[in-house]
Structure 1
């Protein structure tokens, strides 16, 4: 009973401010005649007509597919390369200037190059998402590998564990919290990259929908797209938090136990 009440309080605490802001927006815009800021009631009516359920199939689902593929590539590339650079010191020192240079280069600046190389289709959109999302995961993985306690490294060396066993049973579990922290940042960046790539690419996707509505001076539809994008980002963040909680439950339990022991 206490657990269910705790969940209810958590949900209410998370939702009270968004509900309050929506209520303020609703009543403040009720009599609005401003072309750029139409009444929220009109926006919500249009929202239902557009996004339930045809818009989900034609606009949101293609965007989610590109986002999932690009983010998945970034996770695999970031973790594998981060493990390699974190374990092999001389290789990390050799490529660190290049990594820092590419990390500091905004993804938007690379977008024209991606268009020239991959065109305006799905390959370009997935490629730009993967490119900009790789760096937070890569750098956090390197830091996570380097943060493994020296005692654990000494124990592994004394037992002459294979490198594959060290990575699987020592390095990866200890680096996992930082890897997930980098992946959470990368997910937010991926959503931004998805919208930008869709705005310059071929038709299709929520980013293109928002831009097309703006070009057509359909501000109500544009606002519905922005709201749909915000809801999508919120749901993706909650889904990631759920996966992270399951994957790192052992770590949180161990941290709670250590804190309780103190």
Structure 2
């Protein structure tokens, strides 16, 4: 119980401190662009009603999940192939280094030309940015598979799909999840950027509309919603990661205890 309370304190202490500092720093502010935090919090329930959550938050989350899922499938699949074969890796690496150097927001106008201005464009933008950390981390994870483990699996006749699932992907999964974690934050950023271009709903669209109409406290409430969304997605990701990589964290805990 004491350990749980200590962990809870460390989780809550820094956010509480930052909120307190924000409250004190903005208290009494007369700057229209920097309203007091109490004004923002008082405005929050009036702006983010259940109807607005359905019309703006839900579509944004669905686009994010669709783009993120597409990037995860493509990134893991291509990364496994590239990481498994040296010649394929030698051919693809220059192209991958070139493509990942292109900032995804720059591709928004190009994607709009081919995908239009609907949800397909927004999902494509999210996927185009999320795929790179997943792909590159998968390549490195597959390359780092222990050769002794691979040879042992081969000697026991574990080949094909069974070898891929039980040996390669399992050994590479910690690095794959590292790429998935990086991609999640990138996806949230690209979700907002894509919705600022020719959109009719979504968090990015709503925040821009508040800014253009000089509803500054309302705009700040949208930023708070984005922060809360990122926090909740991070918590869900950590729960999934701990469940999937329970064996890995167990091995690390044992290795730390051993002399």
Coarse TM-score class (shorter-chain normalised): over 0.9
Q: How many residues align?
A: 259
Task: Name the structure 1 match of 2:45.
Answer: 48
Task: Name the structure 1 match of 2:84.
Answer: 87
Whether the aligned pair in 2 keeps the contact of 1:36 and 1:219 (CA below 8 Å) is yes
Quote the Cα distance in structure 2 between the aligned partners of 1:232 and 1:110: 25
Q: Identify which of 11, 15, 34 aligns with 1:14.
A: 11
Quote the Cα distance in structure 2 between the aligned partners of 1:201 and 1:73: 22
Task: Name the structure 2 match of 1:201.
Answer: 198
Quote the Cα distance in structure 1 between the aligned partners of 2:40 and 2:90: 53
Select between 26-35 and 110-119 the one with higher mean Cα deviation: 26-35
Q: Secondary structure at the match of 1:148?
A: coil
Q: 1:143 aligned to 2:150?
A: no
Quote the Cα distance in structure 2 between the aligned partners of 1:258 and 1:13: 25
Task: Name the structure 1 match of 2:225.
Answer: 228
Task: Name the structure 2 match of 1:153.
Answer: 150
Report the CA distance between 1:231 and its aligned residue. 0.8
RMSD: 1.3
Q: Identify which of 30, 38, 46 aligns with 2:27.
A: 30
Q: Secondary structure at the match of 2:48?
A: helix
Report the CA distance between 1:157 and its aligned residue. 2.8
Q: 1:261 aligned to 2:258?
A: yes
TM-score (norm 2): 0.96
Q: Secondary structure at the match of 2:196?
A: helix
Report the CA distance between 1:135 and its aligned residue. 0.6
Distance 1:257 1:27, change over 3 A: closer
Q: Secondary structure at the match of 1:34?
A: coil
Task: Name the structure 2 match of 1:252.
Answer: 249
Quote the Cα distance in structure 1 between the aligned partners of 2:4 and 2:229: 22
Q: Identify which of 113, 130, 137 aligns with 2:110.
A: 113
Quote the Cα distance in structure 2 between the aligned partners of 1:143 and 1:98: 16
Q: 1:99 aligned to 2:96?
A: yes
